[in-house]
Structure 1
Amino acid sequence: MITGGQSYVSAPPAFSADGRLLLVCSGRSVSVFSTATAMLVSELEAHEGDVTAVVVVPPPAQAAAAAKLASYCWTAGLDGALIYWDFVAAEVVRKVQVGLPVHSMVVPNICRSSKGAEVPTPFAFVSVEDRSKPVNDEKLLRGQIRIYDLTKGRQVGCPLAETRKPEKIVASSSGEFLGITNRRKLHIWSIPTKDFKPEKIRKIKLRHTKNLTTLAFHPSERTVAAGDATGRILIWRCFGNAKFSESSARSKVDDGRDGVRGNDDADTCTTWHWHSSRVRFLNFSSDGAYLFSGGLEGVIVVWQLDTGKRRFKPRLGSPLLFFVDSPDSSISCVSCTNNQVYLLKMPNMEVMRSIAGIKLPIASSTMGGSDRAVYGFDYTNRLVAIPTEDYCVQFYNLFENTEVSELQVCERNFQPVDDITMHISLVSLSIDGKLMCTVDIKLPEEELGGLVTLKFWNHGSSAGHYLLSTIIYEPHSDAGVSAVAFRPGRNMAVSSSFGGNFKVWVQRLSSQSSDKTYYSGWRCQSVGSYKNKPMTSAAFSADGSVLAVAAESVITLWDPDNNALVGVIAETLSPITNLSFIGTSGFLMSLCQSSRPQLAVWNVSNLSMQWSYSIYAEAACCSPDGSDFAVLALLNCPDGGTSTEQDGAILLFDAESPNPVASWSVKKARGGSVSFVKGDLSLDADASSRDSEAMFLVYVNCSHEYVIFDPRKSEELGVSKNTHKKIQAEEPAPIGYASIYGELPKVESKKEVTDVPFIPSDRPWETIFSGSSHVLPPLTKLCSAFLSSLLEKRPVANE
């Protein structure tokens, strides 16, 4: 079984001590990527819940004495476990049980006095959630800040704070200060880094008039910055001079402090404003001269701390979530809501590489009135095509859990702060993946100006690469397109419309040679209708000889070549939303998704119903060959609750029998989809004993997390770990000359050595230093060649 599609942006990532690796929280594991190649190096898998925090820490004293690189980290998760890793070896060193879901964690550098010496002792400050209290009561305090001694594996002291929900903890680079945002207040604690005792921790509060969303500490000064929900940034300087001072007596608070509210313990408070909505992250540069901020606009704003001047890194294309510095000051990373992590070359913030996960679901469900997911599956190449919020289609390799390509469907500059004015409502691919069709809708403004566009695409040079062939505006007048199906083995497609008709499209033959056929654009060959009823779905049989079109609740059968009606099947209980032939079995499956749901199997040969069920089904798919089909069913009525993460079950049927062959329980079924894909025989140990090609089933939930499994085997979904990973061995770091100037170019001789005799130059010093500095050979070679050219060579007489 293979799992994938986890979010890479659910929590801030962390760099290794040398900046060569990036540790990213991805579901129940931590993915370790190389910053040089952005490829997956290893995975840390031991948590039983989603990982919420990863903190890289110095190695133990014995490892440091052995000159071992710092390759240790602590991770925290919703399973209530804190795990200490050697992330280079991907081995668990220690585990501490908290017992409550951990939403945030910091591990400051703290020393404890022991027998006259200061010994580094790890203490973790965690933000946990008390799930024993009901969620619907907003006045209850479900969040707590606790301290854990990671050496002894137990809690120390009392909780530092209680909040209505778990808050994110932020620590200063020195570990001296910790802070959280709690509605309109900033809570800051002073942590004794030497001779640590919980009773020595002191606390102050800084107040604001709006809800605070994030904060950051200055690396060297007693300065803290916070962002609020309206886009403002507040900077308090010299905070805690009264409460955190060494003197036991609190100094008198001066009046007339700029921007400081009431008796807050700070000298000044400066306010900056550029962002139009909530500030998602704040981060000071390593030298403390600049402050980075980001939010919904998809722009990194760089503020000069002394003057307030700013510059920008625009066009990242998605709202920003996190910004993390590397110990190597030449690289940083930023996490975006589209499940991408960009590696930035500092200080110009040039995007070097990106770690792209599967795009997350579009937040708005009001685009077109349907909240059902739109997925396209490439059965042959094992890809899923997912429409994105920026008018693209992302092609994602399901077996390798990597992005293959991204296709821009609508040419328009997308800005995250703009209102959504168009969306991709349908993506359909042929079974061999050579043809694709998309439908994009421009939403009307004040009920005027709506536009439906049908586009046909031809397969390019590689999987997931498509070239635009034909654009058809308003293919069904002013009505929307309900479905598109491709005819197997032919360059033909049918589109059905809610307006009461369907159209058969064919691709024109432009030229034909002995070994290849070339096609040009698409044209409409014929138009059909049935009693002016809305055409809600369409499907071709496995051999392409029969076209089935759902006329609301009636299934009609057509000859696609002559556009002739050849048969009509009895009506269903409600309008049909999904229609598909079940392989080569001669059966047809229909799905009704309304207040009167129905799953029905029809015998095409005698135009009668084989069997039916009244179940709420979210999606269904049929095997390209054979007689199997799968249904994603909800456990309760979708209209009975407001939750978008309803659980469900995948039922596997044989067309001839109403009894399920197998079933699997799944999470987050509402908004999900299922599909058959061509299996990878290398993953199946029994494949050599089978004559038929392996067939796998893929389930994608509403969060775009997916699982691929063999439906012929009985196994619990979501329990087993991945059996196939695309993991690249980490490249060794360059050393010496190559680490400064890069690898020297390899010069290959165009002629044989015997054809070009070596003739030494009389004046070699004029040419050995010529050329760019970055392509010169090492200095040792240059010096020896230069000195030898100055020496006079004399023959040595043999005595």
Structure 2
Amino acid sequence: MIIGGQSFVSSAPAFSNDAKKLLVCTGNTISVFSTSTGILITELEGHTDRVTSVVVVPVSGPVSKFMSFCWTSSLDGSICYWDFSSAELIKKVKATHPIISMVIPHIGCDLNDCSETESKLYAFVSTEDTSKPIDQLKALRGEVHLYNLTESRRVGGLLCQTRKPQIMHVSKSGDFIGIVNKQKAYIWQIPDTKIRVDQVKRIRLHHTKNLTTLAFHPTERVVAGGDVTGRILIWRAFGGKKFSKNLLVTDEEERPGVRGDDDAEACTTWHWHASEVKFLVFSSDGVYLYSGGKEGVIVVWQLDTGKKKFKPRLGSPLISFIDSPDPVLSCISCADNQIHLLKMPTMEIIKSISGIKLPFSFPDLHEGSYKEFSFHNDSGLITLCADDYCIQFFSLFDNMQVSQVQICARNFQPVDDVMVFVALITLSPDGSMMSTVDVRLPEEGLGAAVTLKFWSGSRIGEYSLSTVIYEPHRDAQISAIAFRPGHSMAVSSSLGGDFKVWINFSSICQEGQMHEKSGWRCQSVGSYKNMPMTATAFSADGSVLAVAAETVFTLWDPDKNVLIAVIGITIATICKLSFVAQSEYLVSISRGLKPQLALWNLSKMSMQWSYQIWVEAISTTKDGSQFAILTSDNASSEARKRTRKREEGGIILLFDVQSPIPLATWRVRKAKGGGIAFLPSELSLEPSENGTNSLLAYINGDHEYVIFDPLGSGEIQGTRNNRPNQVSCEESGHIGYTSVYGELPQFDSKKETAPDVPFMPMERPWETIFAGSSHILPPLTKLCSTFLESLLERRPTLKEQ
């Protein structure tokens, strides 16, 4: 069993202490990536639901490179303590409710070194009380609890209750934690000794708009908040009176920008973002503030002056920004399921960790057919549409991006109304050709356009544009495209009542220097009673072309464009055709008020059997007589209103053409908008349980997928990715000081004998070791010991002599 397709950006990642690893929350696991190569190193498996937080235990001093411990929280209601260098689960703390967010102030304390007289390790968790009805208007489902991680127990009562669970924020010093709730920011001061809930003091800061995020200054009593309108508020010297006396603050002195009785000396407002602020992060020295949102731009604010700089064209809305222990390395999480590693302070992208593209919402105004993704069965790849006018080629077996092709030459625009999008993607059977359809919606009734593009490439995932055809079927939408196996031919069907046969031609110009030109042109046009052509498919050998005309399907000779036969009448418009069993049978799918799945015997020109069910997707085996369908639940209209579209369940059914009784069935979740495909078993490193030649892949509406043996004994739920695609060790990369000045000489402090060669210090090392800009160099506390050690000569002690 192989699973994948998890979101990399559902929660903020975390860097290891040496900044060589990045811990990413991916579904029920924590994936550890190398920051130098972007390759997966290992996975931490132990949670049974989505991981919501990961907190690395920081350690100062020369032993930090050997420390690799972290805490994680999950919707399964547990807190886990890991050694992520060996992927070992050390401890698990059980909570009472699903955990949405977790922070651990003063986490520098080692769990194993905490004695009874010393400070304990505490975690503040934001949970969701699932026992309260979700549709109740005033139900307080969000709760903030305190847990003693050293003793694995909950401490005291509730710290706070809200309508919905909120994300928690913590200062780097661990002195403050906070959440935002509607138009208020709640901030608590955390003592560094034994914590009791009734002793934790809280203040509230008010705003006129709903707040979305919070950030604490690393050294000063300064907190920043972002709201839904794009404004950023900076409260200075907050909580000085309430934390000390726990009394209301009176407006005895003028406090510019402070609202009501808020305990702050001043409040400054900045505004650049056009929509809500997704993240706020102070730089390690507290001089700058980073902000980001839907625009896909990182804004760098100078805290003292309010001046700003920009890092534009990241190509997707931004979600979170995390800095690392290394001052020249940071990472940004984007809404397109990508994590970019940035070289600071230039914010240049040096490496990207790309997950599968998340679902793309097609405009409601588009009435034609569209395909959110498409499989290429022989290679185990899936192509997905994205909202930045590109398509992604993703390897299902490796759970990683292979390539990305830009379909429309447009920059990312953070607008609510999508007017241009990729509607259809089709690959040729051998993967050497690709066809796409991009649609421009009309604005005030003008400017609508449909563009058909053909692409050619040497291998799958790497294509160059070959031909652009504007309005291939006049002003009608394209319903389907199919490539003919073994030929440079494609067919596009149209809701305008015709289909066109396209061929790839080449000609040689003899004037001057010889060069080859190639492109696609229309060879012939066909129609049937001017009825809308809704689906098309080629037989396995390419000798027969099937085109659906609403409730009937027609068979054609693709070379002569001659109608061979007209077969059957379905109860609803056909939207999908697929040949099966060496093209002896044809499966038709109809949707609408009376959906239907029908199997047609082409030798008898009649229907073999049919079901009245809604079919989301179909896939057929390459050389066998089996096919699989994905159905979604036939819920009532009232039930559909109460259930989100992508949360609807469904069933996968495996059929043989000889019998209408399914060979096997599997219950799945989120079937709406999902898909299935048969994949060759030789692409997997896991042998098939029954020696079958095909594996079955299922991808749900959230683009999470599982690959399994359809005739094996394994079940879909609870499977893990045991495929050994992780690297055994990470590549060594140069970051921080070594990336700028090279490696320092290594000294062995445990060497028992003096060196044979007299000590020769580097000539004038102090002139180069501290050269460069101050914001790029590591702090002096990090360089001082190495610098002094390079100037001293080690001599043997009397004991060593």
TM bucket (normalised to shorter chain) is: 0.7 to 0.9
**1:112 and 1:194 in contact (8 A); partners too:** no
Going from structure 1 to structure 2, the CA distance change for 1:248 and 1:506 (only over 3 Å counts) comes to closer
Going from structure 1 to structure 2, the CA distance change for 1:287 and 1:36 (only over 3 Å counts) comes to same
Displacement of 1:309: 0.5
Identify the residue that residue 566 of structure 2 maps to in structure 1. Answer: 568
Q: Counterpart of 1:97 in structure 2: which amino acid? A: K
Identify the residue that residue 31 of structure 1 maps to in structure 2. Answer: 31
**1:79 and 1:102 in contact (8 A); partners too:** yes
CA distance in 1, matches of 2:610, 2:228: 52
> 1:472-521 CA deviation, whole Å, 9 max, x = no partner?
11111111100001111111111110001111111114479xxxx98821
Identify the residue that residue 252 of structure 2 maps to in structure 1. Answer: 254
The number of aligned residues is 735
Displacement of 1:534: 0.4
Q: 2:470 aligns with which of 468, 473, 480?
A: 473
CA distance in 1, matches of 2:26, 2:737: 37
Q: Counterpart of 1:36 in structure 2: which amino acid? A: S
Displacement of 1:121: 2.2
Identify the residue that residue 6 of structure 1 maps to in structure 2. Answer: 6
Identify the residue that residue 444 of structure 1 maps to in structure 2. Answer: 442
Identify the residue that residue 636 of structure 1 maps to in structure 2. Answer: 634
> 1:63-93 CA deviation, whole Å, 9 max, x = no partner?
x998772200011011001110001110000
Identify the residue that residue 327 of structure 1 maps to in structure 2. Answer: 325
Q: Counterpart of 2:106 in structure 1: which amino acid? A: N
Going from structure 1 to structure 2, the CA distance change for 1:507 and 1:649 (only over 3 Å counts) comes to same
Q: Secondary structure at the match of 1:244?
A: helix
Identify the residue that residue 77 of structure 2 maps to in structure 1. Answer: 80
Going from structure 1 to structure 2, the CA distance change for 1:737 and 1:150 (only over 3 Å counts) comes to closer
Displacement of 1:319: 0.7
**1:547 and 1:559 in contact (8 A); partners too:** yes
Q: Secondary structure at the match of 1:145?
A: strand
Q: How does 1:10-159 map to 2 (within 5 A)?
A: 10-58=10-58, 69-109=66-106, 119-159=118-158
CA distance in 2, matches of 1:724, 1:115: 39
Q: Counterpart of 1:646 in structure 2: which amino acid? A: E
Identify the residue that residue 784 of structure 1 maps to in structure 2. Answer: none
CA distance in 1, matches of 2:536, 2:246: 80
Going from structure 1 to structure 2, the CA distance change for 1:154 and 1:409 (only over 3 Å counts) comes to same
CA distance in 1, matches of 2:737, 2:74: 42
Q: Counterpart of 2:273 in structure 1: which amino acid? A: H
CA distance in 2, matches of 1:281, 1:604: 59
CA distance in 2, matches of 1:450, 1:739: 51
CA distance in 2, matches of 1:67, 1:306: 33
Identify the residue that residue 483 of structure 2 maps to in structure 1. Answer: 486
Superposition TM-score, scaled by structure 2 size: 0.88
Identify the residue that residue 789 of structure 1 maps to in structure 2. Answer: none
CA distance in 1, matches of 2:615, 2:536: 18
RMSD: 2.7
Q: How does 1:596-675 map to 2 (within 5 A)?
A: 596-637=594-635, 641-642=640-641, 643-644=644-645, 645-675=647-677
Q: Secondary structure at the match of 1:258?
A: coil
Q: Secondary structure at the match of 1:411?
A: coil
**2:227 and 2:276 in contact (8 A); partners too:** yes
Q: Secondary structure at the match of 1:137?
A: coil
Displacement of 1:138: 2.9
Displacement of 1:714: 3.0
Q: Secondary structure at the match of 1:199?
A: helix
5+ residue gaps, structure 2: 510-514, 745-762, 764-770, 773-801
Identify the residue that residue 798 of structure 2 maps to in structure 1. Answer: none
Identify the residue that residue 296 of structure 1 maps to in structure 2. Answer: 294
CA distance in 2, matches of 1:273, 1:371: 41
Using the TM superposition, name which of 492-501 and 116-125 deviates more: 116-125
**1:52 and 1:104 in contact (8 A); partners too:** yes
**1:109 and 1:120 in contact (8 A); partners too:** no
Superposition TM-score, scaled by structure 1 size: 0.88
CA distance in 1, matches of 2:138, 2:47: 31
Displacement of 1:679: 2.6
**1:542 and 1:583 in contact (8 A); partners too:** no
**1:392 and 1:410 in contact (8 A); partners too:** yes
Q: Counterpart of 1:157 in structure 2: which amino acid? A: G
CA distance in 2, matches of 1:708, 1:539: 25
> 1:659-690 CA deviation, whole Å, 9 max, x = no partner?
11111111110011111222335534358x95
Identify the residue that residue 679 of structure 2 maps to in structure 1. Answer: 677
Identify the residue that residue 530 of structure 1 maps to in structure 2. Answer: 528
Q: Counterpart of 1:26 in structure 2: which amino acid? A: T
Determine if the alignment matches structure 1 residue 464 to structure 2 residue 466: no
Q: Counterpart of 2:258 in structure 1: which amino acid? A: V
**1:585 and 1:627 in contact (8 A); partners too:** no
Using the TM superposition, name which of 731-740 and 40-49 deviates more: 731-740
Going from structure 1 to structure 2, the CA distance change for 1:204 and 1:364 (only over 3 Å counts) comes to farther
Going from structure 1 to structure 2, the CA distance change for 1:736 and 1:220 (only over 3 Å counts) comes to closer
CA distance in 2, matches of 1:419, 1:439: 19
CA distance in 1, matches of 2:521, 2:63: 72
Identity of aligned residues (%): 54
CA distance in 2, matches of 1:115, 1:140: 39
Q: Secondary structure at the match of 1:661?
A: strand
> Highest relative contact order (Cα 8 Å, sep 6+), 1 or 2?
2
Displacement of 1:373: 4.4
> 1:213-264 CA deviation, whole Å, 9 max, x = no partner?
000000000111000111111111111111113x688876523211111111
5+ residue gaps, structure 1: 745-764, 766-772, 775-799
Determine if the alignment matches structure 1 residue 507 to structure 2 residue 504: yes
